[in-house]
Amino acid sequence: MSLKKRAGAVVERLSKLYPDPVSALDFTTPWQLLVATVLAAQCTDARVNTVTPVLFERWPDPEALADARTPDLEEVIHSTGFFRQKAKNLIASANRITHELGGELPRDMAGLTSLPGVARKTANIVLSNAFGIHEGIAVDTHVKRLSNRLGLTVSDNPIVIEKDLIPLVAQEHWGDFNHYLVLHGRNVCKARSPQCPDCVLDNICPKVGVSRQA
């Protein structure tokens, strides 16, 4: 089976297993998704979802956050880790959006990645989930792990992994592909104990790096 056929089979099978994939992060606006995604770096989505209600009630939009005191924001997001850098980047992004971009979040990769602390993964998540725009595939820890196990890439570099995946997956599935692998990585293809016998991908997966006992 070619890599493209394998990737297509992955999409087909996981789309049936997870028919309505959505972001695990709670948000109501594109800006709030950007904030939540920045906070989710090196932090669980569940933890972020306990922090953002307070954050969004106090600072619901870029204009409000642009005027936030850094120590106040740091206190609210402390439990997400790396809170000083995250607070610095979020306030800087809020100021740029408010004072240079007319209060509107950019709707393209170049514009989003020009914001402080926003790399391709975050931009891809925002574009796909908030705007329905697919410029690439968001590569997080689950996508990285499963893409390697499935033999779709041999790289550990998220940028290289994205480049490897893009020609293998139809563009209309780029956004959902991230969701599929995240959900499957959490539920079945776990980091330490992948449930291979129960996996719908078992007969097409080369199980790269998986021990025989898994």
Active centre residues (catalytic): 121, 140
Angle at 58 between CA 52 and CA 59, to 5 degrees: 80
Query: Taking the alpha carbons of 55, 59, 60, 66 in that order, is the dihedral positive or negative?
Result: negative
Contact 6, 165 (CB under 8 A): no
C-alpha separations of 143 from 95, 99, 186 in Å = 32, 35, 11
Burial state string for 10-21 with b = 16 or more CB within 10 A and e = fewer than 16: bbebbbeebeeb
How many other CB atoms are there within 10 angstroms of residue 128's CB atom?
Answer: 23
